[in-house]
Chain A
Amino acid sequence: MSTAFSTLRHVRGFDVVRPLSIVTMLAIMTPLVLLPLASIFIFGTSKGLGSFWAALTAPEAIFALKLSMVTSFWATVFNVIFGLFASYVLSRYNFWGRNAIIVTISLPTAIPTAVAGFALLLLWGPYGTLGRLIEPHGIHVMFTAWAIVLANVFVTFPLAFGVIKPVFDTMSRSLEEASATIGATRWQTFWHVTLPSLRGAIVTGALLTFARAVGEFGSTILVSGNLANRTQTAPLYIFAKFNEGQVEAANAVAIVLALFSFAIFSVLFFARDWLDTE
């Protein structure tokens, strides 16, 4: 994928199209993406780093950031493991309804995340289909950290699946066949041959899942209950503080999230050769 781009020369000497197109592109992008991002940083640091730091180290803010990281981490772990398994099954075995499942898995990317949230409520909530059955046994899923993990998985699974499954599809079967004829069991083949080829897809899928889960808002606000210091994730904290008029507090956490996602996407971009299979 490390293609060296070369542009076709249309004119001799100075080509005015080049600077012109770069400037146009930047002019459109600036108000759309760059300025909004910049304003977070400008506003966050306008009252000095001291107040930024104070806003960030407020116990509620730290709790919200931690909760986001922890729930996203478990959602990522689940997505990678189950994503591998589901991709394996759906790419290796042909069975009735397979394509329907593949389509259904991708659905959550298109429906509003709030719908994902209340779908989970309808299932696991106190009066939900499953919730009604487990609630009497003292098992509460909704309005806990587990609800956040569930919501994250629901929303982000298509990302991990969408990265891992194509690699399974295009992987040469002869590698696995070679391994089998050499004498490896299915598990040895998977561990020594299949998995190493999936390294890039797994890391990419994990980073995408994590980045998306940390920023998830619509579904978490419905299923978590949004209780400060208990089930309030970073995006919910930002929303709550903003509603309370504490824009600095909201902004400090926003800066952390922005930097965090910047870091993740930088890794994805600059390590893409390493992440590429082969």
Chain B
Amino acid sequence: MLPEEITNIFGDEGADQEAARAETAAPGEIAASVRGLSKSFKGTVVLEDINFDVAMGESLVLLGASGSGKTTILRIIAGLEEPDTGRIILHGNDVTELPARERGVGVIFQAYALFPRMSVEQNIGYGLRIRKRPRKEIKRTVDELINLVRLEEHRKKYPSQLSGGQQQRVAIARTLAYKPQVLLFDEPFGALDAQTRVRLRREIRSLLKHINVPSVFITHDQEEALELGDRIAVLNVGRLEQIGTPDEVYNKPETEYVATFLGAANLLLGVVNNGGVELGTVNLPAPEETRRFREGQPVKLVFRPEDVCLNRTGALPAGCQRLTNGVIEEIHFVGAYERLTVRLDLIARQPSEGTPQLYSVTINTDEKRMGIPIIVTRPKPEANSTRLAVGDRIAVGLTAFRVLPNYALASERASRVVDLEK
């Protein structure tokens, strides 16, 4: 099946193609699947059993630090790298054995890889020229695409005469010309300054919604991932830690890595005790959250700095579950919000002789102050209406938190948390 039979990029190309697509593709159909992908380079495992799907029109972000294997996944989908095991399925066809040029995949390379000796028009028309399409058709498609990416006045220019953002638009248009089955973006904003980055990713987001081509992004920037992705796949040293909507991965991280990689997170070590999490001298009731753990199992309480509520009077607002009391140790004003360090009155339970220590109380000063420091952020209005000062004693509560297993050994973290409720 040719890619143009499946994807209809231009809405104005006629309803007949729309109908043809409806026959072959149900809405929400899977456009691309990665099944059981593994790869190692010279004995080093870079990918381990990676599975995910991308739906029609969806944009999926592969998020991970450098060395997480995200670029390798992209190159394998594009056909530029061969997997050791696993299959790549595009629109129902197994393309694992196909060379890159027969896959109909659009790759937007990190530095865009525009052909330096070709003008904007020639770059965009390249895919059709090498397919030996009639000149008229090439011209019409190039015109449409130049309009789409708004480069009318630059059509005769060469890549070196364009700004980074313009080059990127040429790179996208160049792949759209041959109606790719899926678009792959390799760190698309890596080469740009912070301001252009933000502007461009909004542009790309609206462009993608317009053309309805499934796309896979690669990034190490969590903000970018949250903004670009319909779903986010978090990768950590070659494993897929979690895949879900931005809301899911941010608010319901399934692993500690996801919690800390996407945004800031406070981690407290505790054990499950009687439907709650026992943290030193405190027991935080969490019957829902602790159901999947056995009694006495070591766990981690994970919560974001913005999910903490503080109050001097001890009366916490509704929806805020009381954790313990604490003392404000530091206050920093960082632009949009206020960041506080609060030392909680949680005293680590002394482990009895021979048992492993369950609470690692972070004490980073010589005086060994009691309690556990956490980071709290408060938005400006709240910071202004209820002022707090260093040394204030306050009640500390949580509006949201996650309970994750605490594996004593890294090797026990062999698989992801299995949520029994799902």
> Which chain B residues numbered 102 to 151 have a C-beta less than 8 Å away from chain A?
102-107, 109-111, 113, 115-118, 126-127, 129-131
Q: Which of A181, A184, A185, A197 contacts B103 (CB 8 A)?
A: A181
Q: Which of A181, A192, A196 contacts B106 (CB 8 A)?
A: A181
Query: In the complex the two chains form, what is the Cα distance from A278 to B160 in whole Å?
Result: 9
> Which chain A residues numbered 176 to 192 have a C-beta less than 8 Å away from chain B?
177-185, 188, 192
Q: How many residues of B contact A (CB 8 A)?
A: 29
Nearest Cβ in chain A — how far from B5, in angstroms? 16
Encoded as 1 (CB less than 8 Å from any B CB) or 0, chain A from 187 to 211 comes to 0100011001101000000000000
Query: In the complex the two chains form, what is the Cα distance from A183 to B178 in whole Å?
Result: 9
Nearest first, the 3 A-B pairs at minimum CB distance are A178-B113, A196-B117, A174-B113
Cβ–Cβ < 8 Å partners of A192 in chain B: 115, 126, 129-130
Cβ–Cβ < 8 Å partners of B129 in chain A: 192
Cβ–Cβ < 8 Å partners of A180 in chain B: 79-80, 99-101
Chain A's closest residue to B158 (CB) is A278
Structural contact, A181 and B111, CB atoms closer than 8 A: no
Instruction: Let me know if B342 is at the binding interface, CB within 8 A.
Output: no
Nearest Cβ in chain B — how far from A72, in angstroms? 29
Q: Supply 14 further A-B pairs (C-beta < 8 A) apart from A177-B100, A184-B126.
A: A172-B113, A175-B115, A179-B115, A180-B80, A180-B100, A181-B80, A183-B101, A183-B127, A184-B101, A184-B130, A185-B101, A192-B115, A196-B115, A199-B117
Query: In the complex the two chains form, what is the Cα distance from A174 to B129 in whole Å?
Result: 20
Query: In the complex the two chains form, what is the Cα distance from A178 to B110 in whole Å?
Result: 11
Nearest Cβ in chain A — how far from B145, in angstroms? 13
Structural contact, A181 and B101, CB atoms closer than 8 A: yes
State the main secondary structure of chain A at its contact with B.
helix
State the main secondary structure of chain B at its contact with A.
loop
Cβ–Cβ < 8 Å partners of A193 in chain B: 115
Cβ–Cβ < 8 Å partners of B118 in chain A: 196
Query: In the complex the two chains form, what is the Cα distance from A185 to B127 in whole Å?
Result: 11
Known contacts A181-B101, A197-B116; decide if A174 and B109 are in contact (CB<8 Å): yes
Cβ–Cβ < 8 Å partners of B100 in chain A: 177, 180-181
Chain B's closest residue to A191 (CB) is B130
Structural contact, A183 and B130, CB atoms closer than 8 A: yes
Q: Which of A174, A182, A278 contacts B126 (CB 8 A)?
A: A182
Residue in B103, B118, B126, B174 with the greatest tally of chain A CB atoms within 10 Å: B126
Encoded as 1 (CB less than 8 Å from any A CB) or 0, chain B from 63 to 78 comes to 0000000000000001
Nearest Cβ in chain B — how far from A171, in angstroms? 11
Instruction: Let me know if B175 is at the binding interface, CB within 8 A.
Output: yes
- Can you report 17 residue pairs joining A to B where beta carbons are below 8 Å apart? A174-B109, A174-B110, A178-B113, A180-B80, A180-B101, A181-B79, A181-B105, A181-B106, A181-B107, A182-B126, A182-B130, A183-B101, A183-B130, A183-B178, A184-B130, A196-B118, A278-B160
